[in-house]
């Protein structure tokens, strides 16, 4: 039989259905199976998407299914879980979504799945760690969406500020996908030139202090969107498709995903948003940037915030098991 790229999507809510739609439009996968507790919803989504196949860039097979279909999947993408409510932080979701994930990941592994997990549900760094522990897979084959969306938001806002195409703006958000994340200004550049050089060249147009406002808008973007429309889903769906493409097409792309650290940046036994090289095997390598002193301290604080929530949870789920 001809080898095909199969993606199993678990969770067909706002994020999952938006991801499936973007995946269809870009023609990234050969097969997509949609799995949800609400089988009518996943069946309806599959039917609706199939009706768009004549307009898609390639032939794809899309159907609703069950955990047994994960056996031959190259990628299982999890978007299922409780949603973040207005006024609720991503970390507030942790215990209820961890219980949901235990059932999901156990069911996936019982199918015989031997591919790569991609986790998008919040709090994504902690749930990626839990997925790794529940699955028993090597850490490089369990990836969280991390700060891929925060990084995209930063690039967009910088592109708007400097009036440059976002694809030519290179900057990273690192740390928790949440309130303790940090901008890596020391490596932010436009066309290879530091954003600070750009500001100093045109002091009448640009101000260093404006960067603080840009970062605050990045950090708080989800709260503003949730307040207005109830949930965020288009941006993260596009980010997940970008990550899916990097994996299935063996791109060796650098993306700010939630990756497992084993001493990088002075941290160990934690999933957190960092630049990493992603290919068909998962995370090939975590890139260690030369952060300045402020950024080093901010990254450590972000890791500490995650540990405060994760460590008690990990003890509850995994000790004496």
Catalytic residues: 177
CA distance 270 to 64: 34
Three-point CA angle 274, 276, 278, nearest 5°:
140
Instruction: Give Cα 192 to chain centroid, integer Å.
Output: 26
Give the β-pairing of 189-190 and 253-262: unpaired
Is residue 311 a contact partner of residue 281, using CB atoms and an 8 Å limit? no
* Sequence-ordered list of residues with C-beta below 8 angstroms from that of 106, at least 6 positions apart, any chain: 134
Q: Find the length of the chain.
A: 321
Q: Which residues of 98-134 are buried (b: 16+ CB within 10 A; e: fewer)?
A: bebbeebbebbbebebebbbbbbbbbbbbbbbbbbbb
Question: Can you give the C-alpha Rg of the chain in angstroms?
Answer: 19
């Amino acid at each position: 039989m001809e080898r095909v790229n199969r993606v199993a999507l678990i969770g067909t809510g706002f994020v999952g259905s938006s991801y499936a739609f973007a995946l269809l439009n870009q023609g990234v996968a050969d097969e997509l199976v949609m799995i949800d507790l609400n089988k009518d919803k996943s069946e309806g989504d599959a039917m609706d998407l199939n009706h768009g196949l004549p307009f898609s860039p390639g032939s794809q097979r899309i159907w609703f299914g069950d955990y047994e279909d994960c056996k031959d999947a190259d990628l299982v993408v999890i978007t299922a879980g409780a949603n973040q409510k207005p006024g609720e932080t991503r970390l507030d979701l942790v215990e209820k979504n961890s219980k949901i994930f235990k059932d999901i990941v156990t069911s996936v592994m019982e199918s015989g799945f031997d591919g790569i997990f991609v986790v998008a549900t919040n709090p994504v760094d902690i749930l990626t760690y839990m997925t790794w522990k529940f699955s028993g897979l090597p850490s490089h084959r369990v990836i969280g969406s991390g700060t891929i969306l925060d990084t995209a938001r930063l690039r967009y806002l910088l592109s708007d500020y400097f009036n440059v195409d976002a694809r030519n703006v290179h900057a990273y958000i690192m740390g928790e996908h949440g309130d303790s994340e940090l901008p890596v200004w020391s490596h932010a550049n436009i066309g290879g030139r530091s954003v600070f050089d750009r500001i100093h060249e045109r002091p009448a147009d640009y101000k260093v202090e404006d960067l603080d406002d840009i970062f605050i808008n990045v950090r708080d973007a989800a709260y503003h969107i949730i307040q207005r429309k109830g949930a965020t889903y288009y941006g993260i769906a596009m980010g997940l498709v970008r990550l899916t493409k990097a994996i299935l097409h063996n791109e060796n792309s650098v993306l700010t995903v939630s990756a497992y650290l084993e001493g990088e940046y002075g941290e160990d036994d934690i999933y957190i948003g960092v630049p990493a090289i992603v290919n068909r095997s998962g995370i090939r390598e975590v890139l260690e940037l030369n952060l300045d002193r402020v950024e080093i301290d901010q990254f450590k604080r972000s890791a500490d915030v995650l540990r405060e929530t994760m460590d008690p949870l990990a003890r509850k789920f995994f000790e004496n098991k």
